[in-house]
Chain A
Amino acid sequence: MHYILALILAVWAPLAAAQDWEDQRLFEGAAGSPVLRVLSNTDTSFFVPIIESFLAENPDVSVAYNVTGSAELYDIFRANPAGFDVVISSAMDLQFKLTNDGFALRVDGTGHPAWAQWRDSLFAFSTEPAAIVINRAAFAGLATPASRQDLIQALRARPDVFANRIGTYDVRASGLGYLFATQDARASETYWRLTEVMGSLGAQLYLGSGAMIDDLASGKIAVAYNVLGSYAAARDDVRDKIEVILPLDFPTLMMRSAFVAKATDMPVAGAAFIRHLTSGQTQTALPPLDRSGQPAITLDPALMTYLDRLKRRVFIQEWESAIIQ
């Protein structure tokens, strides 16, 4: 599939031309209507219903939907802030930094709750968990791990089964993977022990959740850690092969967010798109905003902590020494 990228590819991908989209699609409105350029790291399939209902309400615009990885998205947009009108990403920290650095346009009067927006500029519109996903066949006859601790024990108990069959994000190249990893590390030391165990068993590193789910379904890997739960839950085709586990010890909940670029020349259409996105009226496979259960990662300046060059250098060093053995 188009978004499956090998680890090798991933390493040089950020260096490649910015126009190497994972997916690119034009949703046409009225003939000759101006094009709202959307930069996103969300798979097109989740956004088709959203964009189609948006176009039904706003027939005088077209929408160009460009998909790329969360880290690349950040680089692409920073290099060309006027090149896109709406930016959507699951990497909350990068989105936050773009907003803090003044790249986002204010959209007033959305009535969006304060905890799900920042400066009336960055708007969260879904709450999605990081999950442990397992291949049902590999765990046949065994108890499914309910927490990270359970997973560590399961991996240690059967190194022969799991050697080179564990998948997780390459936090160096994936913005969302880095966010999940840093938030896990903040929450508990368990993360580092789990990473060391995964490293000792030769973990496979991925750029996106989609690839991990594909490999889980095919049986190439038996378990994957910090997979986007929403992506896994949306895959009807592999439902009988994989199982999604939300760890009980502590949850890592991310909010997908969007903003209108400050340099846009379509501020009205951009604001309309944000309002449409935050209205919660659209039927899509993305889970809605939810604050009823455990707290999600909050939108506040601390999100920029691990984006600091020195902090990142230290974190990546530690991560590499744990995962690459």
Chain B
Amino acid sequence: MTEGVRVVGSLRNRLALTLIAGAAVLAVLLYFVVRSYAAQIAQQGQDSILGASVTSILDTAVLRDGMVEVDFPYASLAMLGTDTDDRVFYAIYQDGALLSGYDGLARVDGFAAGTYDGTPVRIATAQRMLAGAQSRTQVTVSVAQTQDRLAETLGGIGRNVAVVGAGFFGLVVLLAFWATSSAIGPLARLTTSVTRRGPQDLRPVISPVPSEMVPLVSSLNNLMARLDQSLNRSEDFIAEAAHRVRTPLATVRSHAEITLQRVDREENRQALRAMIRAIDESSRAAGQLLDHAMITFRADHLDRQDLDLGALVSDLAVRLTPVADMRDVELRVTSREAVHVAGDPILLQNALRNLVDNALKYAPRETVVEIDVTDTPAAVTIRDHGPGFAPDEMAGLSGRFVRGRNAQGIIGSGLGLTIAKEVAAAHGGALVLDNHPKGGACITFSL
């Protein structure tokens, strides 16, 4: 079905990939956003404790006899205890000169990141004016803490967010597969319904489709309607042409026969016989073209009736017996009991007549054409004792206007097997061409 169609990518893959790539981007974004937000909050937590520590130290600064005293409480540093045992550094300055604590802490206002002793630290700083009797002095307090706890908290949050992000991504991947299959579903259903149609079925698609597919389906319906119309027109044309040709041909034939009676010279008689023969052939072809057109029409509108296949074959045999007698061929029908089928009697008659006709044409004189009617499955087997089919031609013989190599000299149009095959197909059956092991062609027409 797909040969000859050039494929560029896949809608499903493109849709799924787009969704998955989007999810991946979102998951990564989620990771970084949440992580940076968590970092901010964790940093705020550390800052507030550092700030409280600075305030509690600064609050105890007093000016006594011109000397700065900072009798800060035990809690000032106790509150900086962490479960990761972060290191703590502090410094107390008076007017910028180190009064107590650690020398070399970065001097910044408010909260800042820095390093001390080669370790990253967070530093909080605040100052306060002290007024004495004669002098004013500024006391500045900085408290710094390493960031092990922060790093550990962030590590934990990072791991959790990574797990959540991966879970989110996994869910979206599943969702993407589900969404793409459900989006592609109507397309697949349309494909199935179009694929399952019979070769002659050119009816428009009427089942509802999603709005995006409406242009495609209406184009398809349009195309099929035009195709149907053009097929009908050509069939009509052929039937009309055949009909119009057949009548004048009959006239020409009768004139030729009369002329043959009158002419004595052998060469003229031969020419006339050849002419009559050609006329017969054309006439038969025109007849079969009409038959074929009729079958094509009826196959689409089968008129199924309950009928006895055995009786139908017997009738046919009786009607063809004069033709058989002319060729010294015996028609032998074996039908043990009534074989009931639901079929179109006109089509079946036409198809079987073509097959028996063929058998009579190729059967040598003084032979028997055997016609067997069997039940379950209902089938008619026609066997002659002629040359049979050439094995290499067997597959193509039922095509239109195809004739075997051994058909030379035998009147025929190449439509007989085509008609039989199409009738069998219209009834849901098949036409099987074969050679009998003991010689002769053997055709099975089954319903």
**Interface of A toward B, CB cutoff 8 Å:** 100-102, 114, 118-120, 186, 298, 300-305, 308-311, 314
On whether the beta carbons of A310 and B87 are closer than 8 Å, the reply is no
Which residue of chain B is the closest to A313 with respect to CB atoms?
A: B69
Q: For B71, list chain A residues within 8 Å (CB).
A: 310-311, 314
**Partner of B72 from A101, A102, A120, A305 at Cβ < 8 Å:** A305
Specify the main secondary structure of chain B where it touches its partner.
mixed
- If the complex has contacts A114-B83, A300-B78, are A308 and B100 also in contact, measured as CB distance less than 8 A? yes
Asked if B81 is an interface residue, CB under 8 A from chain A, the answer is yes
28 pairs, CB–CB < 8 Å, chain A vs chain B: A100-B87, A100-B88, A100-B89, A101-B117, A102-B87, A114-B83, A118-B85, A119-B87, A120-B85, A186-B74, A298-B81, A301-B77, A301-B80, A301-B88, A302-B75, A302-B78, A303-B77, A304-B77, A305-B73, A305-B78, A308-B72, A309-B99, A310-B68, A310-B69, A310-B71, A310-B92, A310-B99, A314-B71
On whether the beta carbons of B117 and A311 are closer than 8 Å, the reply is no
On whether the beta carbons of B88 and A304 are closer than 8 Å, the reply is yes
Q: A100-B88, A305-B78, A308-B92 known; 14 other A-B pairs, CB under 8 Å?
A: A100-B87, A100-B89, A300-B81, A301-B80, A301-B81, A302-B78, A302-B81, A304-B77, A305-B76, A308-B70, A309-B99, A310-B70, A310-B71, A314-B69
CA distance A55 to B118 in the complex (A): 36
Q: For B100, list chain A residues within 8 Å (CB).
A: 308-311
Q: For A300, list chain B residues within 8 Å (CB).
A: 77-78, 81
**Interface of B toward A, CB cutoff 8 Å:** 68-78, 80-81, 83, 85, 87-89, 92, 99-101, 117, 119
B61 CB, min distance to chain A CBs, angstroms: 9
On whether the beta carbons of A308 and B101 are closer than 8 Å, the reply is yes
Specify the main secondary structure of chain A where it touches its partner.
helix
**Partner of B74 from A101, A102, A305 at Cβ < 8 Å:** A305
Q: For A118, list chain B residues within 8 Å (CB).
A: 85
A183 CB, min distance to chain B CBs, angstroms: 9
Q: For B75, list chain A residues within 8 Å (CB).
A: 302
CA distance A35 to B75 in the complex (A): 42
Closest 5 A/B residue pairs (Cβ): A302-B78, A300-B81, A301-B88, A119-B85, A309-B100
**Partner of B117 from A102, A119, A301, A314 at Cβ < 8 Å:** A102
Which residue of chain A is the closest to B100 with respect to CB atoms?
A: A309
Q: For A100, list chain B residues within 8 Å (CB).
A: 87-89
- If the complex has contacts A119-B85, A309-B100, A310-B68, are A302 and B117 also in contact, measured as CB distance less than 8 A? no
Q: For A302, list chain B residues within 8 Å (CB).
A: 74-78, 81
CA distance A311 to B73 in the complex (A): 9
Q: For B78, list chain A residues within 8 Å (CB).
A: 300-302, 305
Which residue of chain B is the closest to A298 with respect to CB atoms?
A: B81
B42 CB, min distance to chain A CBs, angstroms: 19
Q: For A101, list chain B residues within 8 Å (CB).
A: 117
CA distance A152 to B73 in the complex (A): 27
Q: For B72, list chain A residues within 8 Å (CB).
A: 305, 308, 311
B429 CB, min distance to chain A CBs, angstroms: 86
Which residue of chain A is the closest to B53 with respect to CB atoms?
A: A301
Q: For B101, list chain A residues within 8 Å (CB).
A: 308-309
Q: For B88, list chain A residues within 8 Å (CB).
A: 100, 301, 304
Q: For A314, list chain B residues within 8 Å (CB).
A: 69, 71
